[in-house]
Structure 1
Amino acid sequence: MQPGAGLLPLRIRGRPAADRAGHRVGPAHGNAGRARGRGGHSLGTVGRAAGHGHGRSAQRRPGRARRTHRRRAWEPGAGARSGRAAATLATVHRADHSPLCRDAPTRDAHPRPRGRPNDHGDRARAGAPGHPHRSRPSPGHGSHRPAAHARRSRGYRRPTISEAIMSSTQTYAVTGAFSYSGRAITAELKARGHHVRTLTAHPRRTADAEGPDEVRPLNFDDPGELRSSLRGVDTLINTFWVRFPHGGTTFADAVDRSNGLLDAAVDAGVRRIVHVSITHADPASPYAYFAGKGLVEQHLTALPIGHSVLRPAILFGGQAVLINNIAWLLRNLPVFAIGGRGTYRIRGIHLADLAHLCADEAESDTDVLLDAVGPERPTFRELVTLVRTAVGSRAALIDVPEPLVPVCAAALGAVMRDTLLTKQEYQAMAHGLADTTGAPTGDLAISDWIAKNGHRLGRTYLNDTRGRRMPR
């Protein structure tokens, strides 16, 4: 063996016949004589001193990367490595076992006969990390590298589980996903495999398995932040509203904030909006709640965006405030006052039915206006009687003049530190605005739900103003 032959991590045999005939086998062929080292002399010069160079210039050309590759087990001198060449080979070996190349092929366990090429030709190991001129072998033809790794390059990063989920699902935004109706809508969307983001006035609350996947601020005072919170959302489901003026917020404020939210959704590129409104919403209504809802509907329908408007009257199911507190009063008072004769009708929808409707419309492409109502429309007296029977109450039902109902409600509210019923809420209900005559869009009957849940209704008082329970 000639001096220096065992020191080089180079291919030091002559060019294959195919390459000599003008058919280039691989980028590494014909370049072994140009491979260069560090330290004042070129490795190609040593190769020619050993009698194996091709006679090409060994001068290092500016801007060209140093080419090295690990010696094959069957090449001469593969077992003797020392000095600079061994250090160079160690560098290449470490690069081969970097996190991006963990499945790089290892050296053959048994030496091949001298001069015998391996099963994919006499090419150097293709695809060495970071070399711009080496082609990668196609999977199959003798390559030990799996196809997935053959496609990798420096800078590749395997996506995280959350990123993989996000790339295969739609993102739906729900305002107030920690609230009564918002939580039910969120649960329905997640059950369908959607990614849910909530916009809330309490952005410090964290996402959980049963709630939204993301929490973003609902900042009506900053349109730019609103747009940022909605960016990347496919559909916005808007449940925001105020039940009555409270804490300095009026219905006019609620209209402005709702319209600003809808405008931000359009600017952020949201595809569709599902808006939860109220039965008989009308900008000309004498009742501020219904007039405000009508103005928001009017604004939404004028926007260049797909939309659905759902109009429920009252909700039942879960922690339904109205029916639960009627049950609490029947459990704890000897009498229960009914305004007039109680012949005005109530057409409620179960919370799960509303959530199902919202999810259906979020996935739709058709603009619709729907009354979100259940199959039954009992009178108010019939509704109170159903609750009284279900909870086993003996309270007497008495009729009182309609003007006295808001007064009685205000007196009880002062004791409970809550707003049981406002004057406009009672008047709108007494004038039939909690009823519709159209076809039902929900399946669950309010009478069945009351009968099945009578044992737990009214055990605690649900304070709608303070958001807390008051025990019996």
Structure 2
Amino acid sequence: MARVAVTGGLSYSGRYLSKLLLDAGHSVVNLSSRSAPLASSPLLASDVAKVQTLPLDFTDERKLGSALEGCDVLYCTYWIRFARDGDTHSAAADRCAKLFDLARRVGVQRIVFTSHTHAREDSPYAYIAGKAQAAAALRSCGVPSYAIARPCGIFGDTAEESILMNNAAWVLRRVPLFLLAGTGQHRFQPIHVRDMAQLLYDLGRLTETDAGAGNGLSSRSRPSEERDACGPDAPTSLELFKHLGRAVGARGAVLAPGFLPTRLITKLTKPIDWWTGDVLLDGDDLDLLGSGLTVAEDPDDLAIRSRRSLLSWIEQVSPTLGNEYVSSVRRYYYAR
């Protein structure tokens, strides 16, 4: 059995990863300001009681290093949703680099980091440029081995957890016309949160032998690797939101006229931001969705085909999808 640190171990994908680790008998350290699960499933009360929560305080190197001491594996799902209040994605990458260096110095044997598909340091999209900067820091930090998972989005398990799909459905249920920027022909290939957790768990195994069976985190010989974290469905934006609208019984039309810029679409959503106190669409996120970078880098990865279907999931949760608005600002910045 191993001692494992998970940033955000009680948050979104971290909860599902923590459940897999606990079920395998490992000790889990939750590095976060969140001491209660974001939602009850899949953790039982008895599971939560086994998790040790320590602050992810980048300003206190001594305490953060102490929290990592004795851990065999660090799973880093840490990132910032928005660049706001003076914070930036580049600064988040610097914090990740500090975390990776501390982990190496206290003896962590493997670090697993969630990056993004097609992330490059010179990307015009700050979100994934920062991810690439953090991944580069991991590759060069000197830890015995590492793994990088490359998602472009995560959905599931319930409607309320999947903010993008839920809030798009919320809008579709209430407006007569749902407009998309550009032609709506760029594809989006997200992964189900349970598949994401399983991939992270598998990437954290320390030996090739254990990667196929058993509890996995028992020795120190597995090479570093990088894998796409994508699902089998890669609909175009137009296909996705039309499917979503049909699933929730929306009466309005979904259109991509081909000439609407992303900045105009985000301006059209500002009344919703004012009403909800949230950010429904971040302009940079919308640009990224239309960039062609939200698909697998390795489409021939056989594991992709066996994962859960986005389109089927939408149909399964359609009765509750979009019934209530879910604030990303409250979830990621205020709720603890």
Corresponding residue of 1:347? 189
Corresponding residue of 1:23? none
For 1:181, the aligned partner's letter is S
Tell me the CA shift for residue 180 of structure 1: 1.1
Tell me the CA shift for residue 332 of structure 1: 1.9
Corresponding residue of 2:156? 317
Q: In 2, are the aligned partners of 1:203 and 1:217 still within 8 Å (CA)?
A: no
Q: In 1, are the aligned partners of 2:166 and 2:326 still within 8 Å (CA)?
A: yes
Counterpart secondary structure, 2:256: strand
Q: In 1, are the aligned partners of 2:238 and 2:256 still within 8 Å (CA)?
A: no
Equivalent residue for 2:16, pick from 184, 188, 205: 184
Tell me the CA shift for residue 202 of structure 1: 3.9
- 1:392 and 2:212 correspond: no
Q: For residues 26-45 of structure 1, what are the structure 2 equivalents within 5 Å? A: none
- 1:259 and 2:97 correspond: yes
Counterpart CA distance in 2 for 1:448 and 1:336 is: 22
Cα pair distance change 1:210/1:405, threshold 3 Å: farther
Counterpart secondary structure, 1:233: coil
Q: In 2, are the aligned partners of 1:418 and 1:464 still within 8 Å (CA)?
A: yes
Equivalent residue for 2:26, pick from 181, 185, 194: 194
Cα pair distance change 1:335/1:282, threshold 3 Å: same
Counterpart CA distance in 2 for 1:187 and 1:434 is: 28
- 1:288 and 2:120 correspond: no
For 1:439, the aligned partner's letter is D
Counterpart CA distance in 2 for 1:191 and 1:177 is: 14
- 1:409 and 2:241 correspond: no
Equivalent residue for 2:81, pick from 215, 235, 243: 243
Counterpart CA distance in 2 for 1:269 and 1:200 is: 21
Q: In 1, are the aligned partners of 2:72 and 2:109 still within 8 Å (CA)?
A: yes
Corresponding residue of 1:439? 300
Counterpart CA distance in 1 for 2:276 and 2:122 is: 34
Unaligned runs of 5+ in 1: 1-168
Tell me the CA shift for residue 227 of structure 1: 0.5
Counterpart secondary structure, 1:357: helix
For 2:6, the aligned partner's letter is V
- 1:357 and 2:188 correspond: no
Q: In 2, are the aligned partners of 1:175 and 1:238 still within 8 Å (CA)?
A: yes
For 2:15, the aligned partner's letter is R
- 1:302 and 2:112 correspond: no
Name whichever of 358-367 and 222-231 sits farther off.
Answer: 358-367
Q: In 2, are the aligned partners of 1:331 and 1:393 still within 8 Å (CA)?
A: yes
Counterpart CA distance in 1 for 2:134 and 2:269 is: 29
Q: TM-score, normalised by structure 1?
A: 0.61
Counterpart secondary structure, 1:359: helix
Q: TM-score, normalised by structure 2?
A: 0.84
Counterpart secondary structure, 2:75: strand
Tell me the CA shift for residue 340 of structure 1: 2.0
> C-alpha deviations, 1:28-81, integer Å up to 9, x for none?
xxxxxxxxxxxxxxxxxxxxxxxxxxxxxxxxxxxxxxxxxxxxxxxxxxxxxx
Counterpart CA distance in 1 for 2:25 and 2:245 is: 40
Q: In 1, are the aligned partners of 2:238 and 2:255 still within 8 Å (CA)?
A: no
How many matched pairs? 299
> C-alpha deviations, 1:128-176, integer Å up to 9, x for none?
xxxxxxxxxxxxxxxxxxxxxxxxxxxxxxxxxxxxxxxxx21111101
Q: In 1, are the aligned partners of 2:9 and 2:18 still within 8 Å (CA)?
A: yes
Name whichever of 252-261 and 429-438 sits farther off.
Answer: 429-438
Alignment root-mean-square deviation, CA: 1.8
Name whichever of 269-278 and 239-248 sits farther off.
Answer: 239-248
Tell me the CA shift for residue 407 of structure 1: 1.5
Unaligned runs of 5+ in 2: 38-42, 207-221
For 1:190, the aligned partner's letter is L
Corresponding residue of 1:171? 3
Name whichever of 295-304 and 188-197 sits farther off.
Answer: 188-197
